[in-house]
Structure 1
């Protein structure tokens, strides 16, 4: 069975850890072999919710026939292990130059290590075959998108630094160097390029898999609709599937009928705000309510109660079908090709498009992506663009010097 991966994200303090833990407990109680990964939990909130101290190795939490397993991503430990492994391979060079290798206590994770460790952990656990459901208490949206975009960006850099034609000429390296003095990369560089490409491809397969999706948590008490829209547009820009929006700590609907006028008025106000949020995402993305239990969840029993309130009697939402980027042939009607990019939540004022050779740089707010154009569009010039009904449409006209004449 293929592992279903759910990346639970949201602004800090919105209840992301609580929703992730409740999702994992709910999945396990429905018979799924479930692993909860605390990937962004510096204050060990997940530990407090589950009543255990998590380590880097998956361990069962709670009682029952099939409890969920949980683990935390320890970037410091992962960095030390990887650095020591590389140090062992470099020991002959250290000995040659009289360099003393660093002790484990001296090794402190560098910036960006968390992203790499998250990608490696996702790849390892989805490939293990041990889990039906992998729930990740993920970083906030900007940091999560930066981590998930890393394989695509690194692969692009590798392609520029060591393109395919240079790899194809590997066997001719001695001949080229001897005849024309053409410098060619050494064999170890080709091997490093191949190794890196394989690892990046494995990470991208997990991220782009149809069974991987993102679940966005917002605080029912204090969300900002423009902020939610920007988060949705950022996820769409990188083509991540958004399976649900969860309103965390929502006031129960019964509070609207309370005899206390203050509570009733507050409940009515929150209900109207959540109705606006539901309308923003309808009908493509469901809005789920994680009601306030009247207390802080404490242990798997409380999390199971919250999961039942959140998902009902069945499993959690399935990943939605992809809304692909498409090219529409309108040469006969309008003389253009139309490139349609679904960007729900994007604002026209936040959009920026730059054509650079065979690539398009697309930005929406703080999020920026470089995309290689489909082959037909590379022989065209951009004539305009528009944002309508949550989709960006870019118009391309054939370049007479490049387009085949009829």
Structure 2
């Protein structure tokens, strides 16, 4: 049963504890395939080939059939990075020749850790793509990379300048203004197209993140910070999957030590509280079908959630301010950093940092205050009398 024409592929990025991610990703993919979805499992961050061991096969670079409806492949981030860099180098070869620079050899190129290759090229062949992704901090950085590179590209080579290329002879003759050569604009157009393809996957409503945690060692505060970082960049968290929890019966065990461990584990899991389903599998799940059954039962699993809600509210009549609300589940006040820079707002949440363009109305305002409570960042903006339209 494949996806209907025009239906976007669902993508689930499984991140979290290194010991839990491969098993939860593989079980998720197996569960979907057995429910009739054409499913691709990506071992995107699996240096020790744990996914291979779980599936009982050695994965290569191309999709290999595992069972009916399920294919799996391994992403070699080094090879993918070298391929992209070589393609870009081909676009820039003219510039290298002009500058007298020797291009790097493919063997000299090393990928950044966690640089997850993102492309929608073959996505239409699958109903669901499940990726065993890098840890949360690295995944957040990888997902933010297309937006950041697109921003840098726009600053270095704005598209508006391309219209001035026809004036290059006139500018050179009368004003001596240097203009970038055609090869630079060609490289910019190619890079912009590649970034747009990656951003379509990242920002698709069908792309979500699932946190996989080991019950005995999960750190609720760290998970909450990870969720805050994902929300800062607009990524959707659909569930937390708990792996290798103690059986429910352990709470009533006659062994006080075991009962105490079970109680502490339960309290730790309850502290996660991220507003998404908490899926559990206990230590009796010894293989992938048992793990999938405990996590998802007879359901299809968590649905793709809506993007974290960011909204503006006009309270000029009541309070004389405009309100901009940014979702920040799991964020802590001590980790918050806010800097207004022209028409942009720099928001930092612990190790995560994003530059947000302000909505048009807020650009004519000054920041009047901020509050962080109940997983929501509320910013108050007061109209600047010198910029605000008269009579509004």
- TM-score normalised to structure 1 length: 0.88
Q: Which residue of 2 aligns with 1:288?
A: 279
Q: Given the alignment, which residue of 188, 198, 203 partners 1:193? A: 188
Q: 2:367 aligns with which of 365, 375, 382?
A: 382
| Greater Cα shift, 158-167 or 171-180 | 171-180
Equivalent residues of 2:220, 2:269 under 8 A apart = no
Identify the residue that residue 307 of structure 1 maps to in structure 2: 292
Is 1:237 matched up with 2:228? Answer: no
Query: Offset of 1:324 from its aligned partner?
Result: 2.6
Please give the secondary structure, in 2, of the residue aligned with 1:387.
strand
* Secondary structure, aligned partner of 1:222: coil
Deviations 1:29-75 (A, max 9, x none): 011100010111111111111111110101011x4xx1411111112
Partners of 1:29 and 1:78 in 2: CA distance: 30
Out of 22, 30, 36, the residue aligned to residue 41 of structure 2 is: 36
Are residue 124 (structure 1) and residue 128 (structure 2) matched? no
Q: Which runs of 4+ in 1 moved over 3 A?
A: 79-104, 257-262
Q: Is the 8 A contact 1:79 1:113 kept in 2?
A: no
For residue 149 of structure 1, report the CA deviation from its aligned partner: 0.4
Q: Residue 263 of structure 1 aligns with which residue? A: 258
Distance 2:281 2:363 in 1: 47
Distance 1:356 1:188, change over 3 A: same
- Is the CA contact (8 Å cut-off) linking 1:19 and 1:290 kept in structure 2? no
1:112 paired residue number: 112
User: Offset of 1:220 from its aligned partner?
Assistant: 0.9
Aligned residue runs from structure 1 range 128-207, under 5 A = 129-207=124-202
- How far residue 267 of structure 1 moved from its aligned partner, in angstroms, is 2.3
- Paired positions, count: 385
What secondary structure, in the 3-state scheme, does the structure 2 residue paired with 1:124 have?
coil
Matching of residues 291-370 of structure 1 within 5 Å: 291-293=282-284, 295=286, 302-370=287-355
Aligned equivalent of 1:298: none
Q: CA deviation at 1:164?
A: 3.4
Q: How much has 1:170 moved relative to structure 2?
A: 2.6
Whole-Å separation in 2 of the counterparts to 1:3 and 1:88: 31
Q: Deviations over 1:244-263 (max 9, x none)?
A: 01111111213334444433
SS, match of residue 385 in structure 2? coil
- 1:98 Cα offset (Å): 11
SS in 2 for 1:274: helix
| Structure 1 residues 159 and 260: CA distance shift in structure 2, 3 A | same
Which residue of 2 is the match for residue 299 of structure 1? none
Q: Is the 8 A contact 2:82 2:110 kept in 1?
A: no
Contact 2:114/2:134 (8 A) holds in 1: no
Q: How far has the Cα of 1:79 moved from its partner?
A: 4.1
Question: Given that residues 114 and 138 in structure 2 are in contact (C-alpha distance below 8 angstroms), is that contact kept between their aligned partners in structure 1?
Answer: no
Q: 1:266 to 1:359 in 2, by over 3 A?
A: same
Identify the match of residue 26 of structure 1 among 16, 26, 31.
31
- Looking at structure 2, the residues matched to 155 and 92 of structure 1 have their Cα atoms a distance apart, in angstroms, of 22
**Residues 92, 183 of structure 2: 8 Å contact kept:** no
TM-score normalised to structure 2 length: 0.91
Tell me, yes or no, if the aligned pair for 1:247 and 1:289 is still in contact at 8 Å. yes
Q: Aligned to 2:61, which of 56, 78, 81?
A: 56
Structure 1 match to 2:15: 9
Structure 1 residues 92 and 402, CA gap change in structure 2 (3 angstroms): closer
What is the rounded CA distance, in whole Å, between the counterparts of 2:157 and 2:244 in structure 1? 50
- Aligned 8 A contact 1:245 1:285 in 2: yes
- RMSD across aligned positions (CA): 2.6
- The gaps in structure 2 that reach 5 residues or longer are 1-6
- 2:343 and 2:95 map into 1 onto residues whose CA distance is 42
Find the residue that maps to 2:298 and give its secondary structure. Answer: coil
Q: What's the CA shift for 1:222?
A: 1.4
Are residues 198 and 329 of structure 1, via their aligned partners in 2, closer, same or farther at CA, if it must alter by over 3 Å?
Answer: same
